[in-house]
Structure 1
Amino acid sequence: MGPEPLWTGYRHREIDAAGWMTFWRLDPREQSFALTDWVGVPDRPGHRLWSRAATPAGVRAAWQTSAATVSLEIRAELDIYSLIAPVDFLVDGVLHARRPVEAGEQRITVELPPGPVRLEIWLPQAGAIGVRAVLFDGEAEPQPPVGPRWIAYGSSITQCTGAFGPSETWPALVAREHGWDLIALGFAGECHLDPIAARTIRDTPARLISLCLGINIYGGETFSGRTLPGQVESFLATVRDGHPHTPIVVITPLQAPNVEGKPNALGLTLDDVRACVELGARALGDPELQLIDGRTVLSIEEAQALYVDDLHPGPEGYRLIGERLAPLLTLPL
């Protein structure tokens, strides 16, 4: 066995009898009904939220090592989108190897350059993933996370299942550029201002918090024009209770060329949702809260060229989002 990794980016770790670890980005112990009441009912939002929470987007570990090889014991199952993302191995901050992950149990071995080097392993941002061991054929010293912590909450566009790999989601790219300790709370289809998400952010120490709000609410018809501003205000108030002076950045939905101007079943267009999110955010009168209009992140023309469907960027789109948001997401001096 190798040295015990210092995995980071998760809320709760569960280990089964065979030693397989599941990294939960929300803690299922804090909401006991979530894993039982809706099992077998895959169209219920709560069930999907917890399957997303068990996907280790942004979960990673680092070592200082002079070993010649590293091996990762990993187990994977397809998520409900029939996806399993790869594993990324970074050496001294640069992508060294990207390895596909197949369904089932497997050992992935990667040769390393002459050391000592800093190795990071980023776990897949899509798929039902378990990890059992990280093995080295030489010395390896686990390294704690470094840099100020940033929490990024959002939808599939924050989980970035379609990115090239887990180290190239837009939150990962921003965090790596700034040297931040990322907590990635992107939940595909499940950014619905759930209280468990608000409490998790409230109770997790952070120097910066960003919240991409609205696209799932539009598509899922979660709230009306009457209820959405209040829900945003309530969510932000809960977050602020645990972070009295932490900068909070609220990002409204990015451009969605084939959806813009189309009312959902509750009569809200995406622009209506943007306005409601902004209204709820401004209701706090919070001087440490910043708003970013998502329409300014990508132009309509860029979205048309880079999206793989009506809503989701492809890998190059996620890279561009990271480039655009990196200078806007900053810590106070």
Structure 2
Amino acid sequence: MSTTQPDWTTTPITADLLRGALELERTEHGVLPHRLPARARAQCADGQLAMAQSQPSGVRLVFRTRATTVELDARPTKRVYPGAPPRPDGVYDLLVDGRMTDRGSVAGGSTLTIDLATGAATHRPGPAGTLRFAGLSDAVKDVEIWLPHNETTELLALRTDAPVEPAPDRGRRVWLHHGSSISHGSDAASPSTTWPALAARRGGVELINLGLAGSALLDPFTARALRDTPADLLSLKIGLNLVNTDLMRLRAFTPAVHGFLDTVREGHPTAPLLVVSPILCPIHEDTPGPSAPDTAALATGRLRFRAAGNPAERASGKLTLGVIRDELARIVAQRAAEDPHLYHLDGRDLYGPADVAELPLPDELHPDAATHRRIGERFAALAFTAEGPFAPAGA
């Protein structure tokens, strides 16, 4: 860790410098951004949810400064999956006046070792490290540091060689999005290149990303978090996690979707609300979950997933992506008769049959960096342009 120089400024990391987090927890040495509030976290002891919501997808430090050098002390939590390929260090993206300028990582940190077969996890504390960006212009500029979307990140200190102040509000609309690991950003190249981040930039909006890997399960506490978060535009990507966790049957799914939408609408009665069904995922189109690690692939050092359900079980109400798409379309059509600001988007319009041959899902569940870019571009074209549900007023 570098030594603070006498002429440097150390700025406390406070909520007015962070965007995209719903809550900031004070720790012994710094702060930890959360994407679900404490009340929601207290209502579920699931380790996957705890990990996902603490990974700061879409969370970024945003400030105005003349600084030419910026240092950030952070303690990341790295994930290790025994038997699977090592995961690269999380990436921090530096944007200056909205333009991608540099990238970096923080070595070291704590380690969370997760058994893919049982889900058992072991946490080992580790040291903090320092991220350094140098050689910036000495002009006044808006700086954004996007935190790793897939690495829990405790923020300890922000140092600069010139004073820092919160960046001014640019008056942009706020887009609040909820979805699964694909929305969270699994297998994207960096935090500012997850598909929601790319779509937000094209749409000229401020993103709050509540994509929660493995945890988009129609939980009431998540609906309340969405309800209570100020936003101008909302989208809900529903389906994949319900299949790959094999959490519920069709009888429970339909009223759960209605209840989730009812709760969100309590806080956002007239905001454009877009319900997005799953992108194409061949292993679960007609085969129910759960998803399971492919042990044969793990034996060769590759991480892949397979559908462990039986297609015949659809008759007993088990969910597949096809079943969910049909039911979501029906629910939205039913509700839209009384809710003119409710919209539906078939996820296959973002990634569908024609894309599979060109850009297959490497592990059978998650898109790679190129596919995130394609999904982000298509979502922006379908949602934010003149004919889309998120079109600016007067467009």
Structure 1 length-normalised TM: 0.91
Over 3 Å counting, the alpha-carbon distance change for 1:187 and 1:213 in structure 2 is same
Counting matched residue pairs gives: 322
Q: In the alignment, is the contact (CA less than 8 A) between 2:43 and 2:221 conserved in 1?
A: no
Taking the TM superposition and a 5 Å limit, the aligned residue runs for 1:197-212 are 197-212=222-237
Shift of 1:14: 0.7
In 1, distance between residues paired with 2:195 and 2:56?
15
- Aligned position for 1:226: 251
Shift of 1:80: 6.4
Question: What CA deviation, in whole Å up to 9, does each residue of 1:1-55 have, x standing for no partner?
Answer: 433451011111111122x211110012345353xxx4xxxxxxx2211211111
Shift of 1:69: 0.5
In 2, distance between residues paired with 1:301 and 1:221?
27
- Aligned position for 1:273: 324
2:18 pairs with one of 3, 7, 31: 7
Residues 1:16 and 2:23 are matched in the alignment: no
In 2, distance between residues paired with 1:144 and 1:69?
21
1:308 pairs with one of 351, 355, 362: 362
- Aligned position for 1:299: 352
The alignment-based identity, stated in percent, is 35
1:109 pairs with one of 129, 132, 141: 132
Amino acid in the other structure paired with 2:134: E
Taking the TM superposition and a 5 Å limit, the aligned residue runs for 1:1-333 are 1-5=9-13, 6-18=17-29, 20-34=30-44, 38=45, 46-79=46-79, 83=87, 84-104=89-109, 105-114=128-137, 115-146=139-170, 147-264=172-289, 265=309, 267=314, 268-285=319-336, 286-306=339-359, 307-329=361-383, 330-333=390-393
Shift of 1:305: 3.1
Between 1:127-136 and 1:74-83, the stretch displaced more is: 74-83
In 2, distance between residues paired with 1:194 and 1:17?
30
Gaps of 5+ in 2: 1-8, 110-127, 290-308, 384-389
Aligned partner of residue 284 in structure 1, secondary structure: helix
Amino acid in the other structure paired with 1:32: A
Aligned partner of residue 239 in structure 1, secondary structure: helix
Amino acid in the other structure paired with 1:90: L
- Aligned position for 2:5: none
In 2, distance between residues paired with 1:53 and 1:145?
25
Q: In the alignment, is the contact (CA less than 8 A) between 1:67 and 1:137 conserved in 2?
A: yes
Shift of 1:103: 3.1
Structure 2 length-normalised TM: 0.77
Amino acid in the other structure paired with 2:320: T
Amino acid in the other structure paired with 1:215: L
In 2, distance between residues paired with 1:55 and 1:263?
28
Which 4+ stretches in 1 moved above 6 angstroms? none
| Larger radius of gyration between Structure 1 and Structure 2 | 2
Shift of 1:263: 3.5
- Aligned position for 2:113: none
Gaps of 5+ in 1: 39-45
In 1, distance between residues paired with 2:375 and 2:162?
39
Pairwise CA RMSD: 1.9
Question: What CA deviation, in whole Å up to 9, does each residue of 1:47-72 have, x standing for no partner?
Answer: 21121111111111222222110001
In 2, distance between residues paired with 1:181 and 1:302?
29
Amino acid in the other structure paired with 1:64: R
Shift of 1:227: 1.6
